[in-house]
Structure 1
Amino acid sequence: MPGRARRVRFAAWAALAGVVSAGVFLAVAEVAALLVARQSSPILAVGSFVIDVVPQPLKEFAITAFGENDKPVLLAGLCLAVIVASAIAGLLQLWRPPLGIIALGIAGALSVAAIVTRAGATPLAWVPPVLGTIAGAVVLGVTVARLRRWAHATTTHDDSDSGRLDRRVFLQVLTIAGASALIAGVGARVANVATTSIAAVRRALRLPEPRSRVDVPAGAELDVPGISPLYTPNADFYRVDTALTVPSVDPATWRLTVDGLVDRKIELTFDELVEMGLDEYSITLTCVSNEVGGELLGTAKWLGVPVRDILALAGPQGDADMVLSHSIDGFTASTPVEALTDPDRDAILAVAMNGEPLPLEHGFPVRMVVPGLYGYVSATKWLTRLQVTTFAADEAYWTPRGYSAEAPIKFSSRLDTPRTGQPVAAGRVPLAGVAWAQTVGIERVEVRIDGGEWQAATLSAPVNDDTWVQWMLEWDATPGTYNVTVRAVNRDGDLQIEDRAPIAPDGSTGWQRTLVRVT
Structure 2
Amino acid sequence: MNRIRKLFRRWPDALTGLLAVFSGLALAELLAAVLSRPSPFLSIGSTIIDATPTPLKEFAVREFGTADKPILLTTIAAAMVVLALVIGLLAAARPVIGLAGMAVFAIAGAVMALGRPTATAIDALPPVVGGLAAAGVLLLLRRLLHHEPERPSIASLSNRRRFLIGAGAVIVTGGAAAAGARFISSAGAVGEQSRAQVRLPAPASPAAPLPEGSDPIASFHTPNSDFYRVDTALSVPQIDAATWRLRVGGRVAREREYTFAELLARPLIERDITLVCVSNEVGGPYLGTARWLGVPLAELLAEAGVDADADQIVSTSVDGMTIGTPTRVVTDGRDAMLAVGMNGEPLPLTHGFPVRMLVPGLYGYVSACKWITGIELSRFDDFDPYWVRRDWAKEAPIKTSSRIDTPKALGKVPAGTTRVAGVAWAPHRGVTAVEVRVDNGAWQRATLASVPSTDTWRQWYLDWDATPGRHDITVRATDGGGEPQVEQRVTPFPDGATGWHSIAVRVE
TM-score (norm 2): 0.96
CA distance in 1, matches of 2:105, 2:23: 13
User: 2:287 is matched by which residue type in structure 1?
Assistant: L
| 1:366-515 to 2 correspondences below 5 Å | 366-515=355-504
Shift of 1:193: 2.6
- Tell me which of 186, 192, 202 is aligned to 2:185: 192
One of 70, 79, 83 as aligned partner of 1:72: 70
Instruction: State whether residues 441 and 490 of structure 1, in contact with CA within 8 Å, keep that contact through their aligned partners in structure 2.
Output: yes
Distance 1:4 1:466, change over 3 A: closer
* Matched AA of 2:319: D
Cα deviation per residue 1:421-479 (whole Å; 9 max; x = unaligned)? 22111111111001111111111101111111111111111210101110011111111
Partner SS for 1:94: helix
The equivalences for 1:164-203 within 5 A come to 165-203=158-196
Q: 1:437 to 1:238 in 2, by over 3 A?
A: same
SS of equivalent to 1:126: helix
* CA distance in structure 1 between the partners assigned to 2:405 and 2:226 by the alignment: 15
Cα distance in 2 between the residues matched to 1:382 and 1:516 = 42
Alignment of 1:200-279 (within 5 A): 200-224=193-217, 227=218, 229-279=219-269
Alignment-mate amino acid for residue 47 of structure 1: G
Task: Please report how far the alpha carbon of residue 6 of structure 1 lies from its aligned counterpart in structure 2 after TM superposition.
Answer: 7.9
RMSD: 1.9
Q: Is the 8 A contact 1:483 1:515 kept in 2?
A: yes
Segment of structure 1 superposing worse, 418-427 or 295-304: 418-427
Matches of 2:336 and 2:194 in 1, distance apart?
A: 26
Which residue identity is paired with 2:144? Answer: R
Moved more, 350-359 or 138-147: 138-147
Q: Distance in 2 between matches of 1:259 and 1:11?
A: 61
SS in 1 for 2:454: coil
Closer, same or farther: CA 213–102 of 1 in aligned 2, 3 Å:
same
Cα distance, 1:215 vs. partner?
Answer: 1.2
Do structure 1's residue 518 and structure 2's residue 468 form an aligned pair?
A: no
- Which amino acid in structure 2 is aligned with residue 201 of structure 1? S
Instruction: Give the 3-state SS of the residue equivalent to 1:262 in structure 2.
Output: coil
How far, CA to CA, are the matches of 2:213 and 2:451 in structure 1? 6
Contact 2:410 2:503 in 1 (8 A): no
* CA drift at 1:33: 1.3
1:35 paired with 2:31, answer: no
Q: Retained in 2: the 8 A contact 1:436–1:467?
A: yes
Q: Deviations over 1:340-391 (max 9, x none)?
A: 122x211100001000000100000000111111001110100011111111
Aligned residue number for residue 54 of structure 2: 56
For 1:193, the aligned partner's letter is S
Query: C-alpha displacement at 1:97, in angstroms?
Result: 1.9
CA contact (8 A) 2:282 2:500 kept: yes
Name the counterpart of 2:89.
91
**Secondary structure, in 3 states, of the residue corresponding to 1:214?**
coil
Counterparts in 2 of 1:220 and 1:259: CA distance versus 1, 3 Å: farther
278-287 or 118-127: which moved more?
Answer: 118-127
Q: CA–CA distance in 2 between the matches of 1:468 and 1:184? A: 49
Q: Distance in 1 between matches of 2:293 and 2:210?
A: 19
Whole-angstrom distance in 2 between the partners of 1:72 and 1:369: 27
Correspondence for 2:105 among 87, 104, 107: 107
Q: 1:4 deviation in Å? A: 6.2
Secondary structure of 2:403's aligned partner = strand
Cα pair 1:448 1:484 within 8 Å, conserved: yes
Deviation at residue 321 of structure 1 after TM alignment: 0.6
- Give the drift of 1:66: 0.9
TM-score, reference length from structure 1 = 0.94
Partners of 1:283 and 1:74 in 2: CA distance: 31
- Find the partner of 2:343 among 335, 341, 354: 354
* One-letter amino acid matched to 1:285: L
- Maintained 8 Å contact 1:485/1:513: yes
Give aligned-pair identity as a percent.
46
Unaligned runs of 5+ in 2: none
In structure 2, relative to structure 1, the CA distance for the partners of 1:9 and 1:459 (3 Å cut) is closer
Partner of residue 146 from structure 2, selected from 145, 148, 153: 148
Amino acid at match of 2:74: A
User: Distance in 1 between the 2:103 and 2:407 partners?
Assistant: 56
- Whole-Å separation in 2 of the counterparts to 1:197 and 1:126: 24
Cα deviation for residue 218 of structure 1 reads: 3.0
Report if the CA contact (8 A) 1:49-1:114 is conserved. Answer: yes
In 2, Cα distance between equivalents of 1:190 and 1:242: 24
5+ unaligned residues in a row in structure 1: which ranges? none
Q: Which letter maps to 1:439?
A: H
CA positional deviation for 1:5? 8.1
* Structure 1 position 503, deviation (Å): 0.4
How many residues get paired? 508
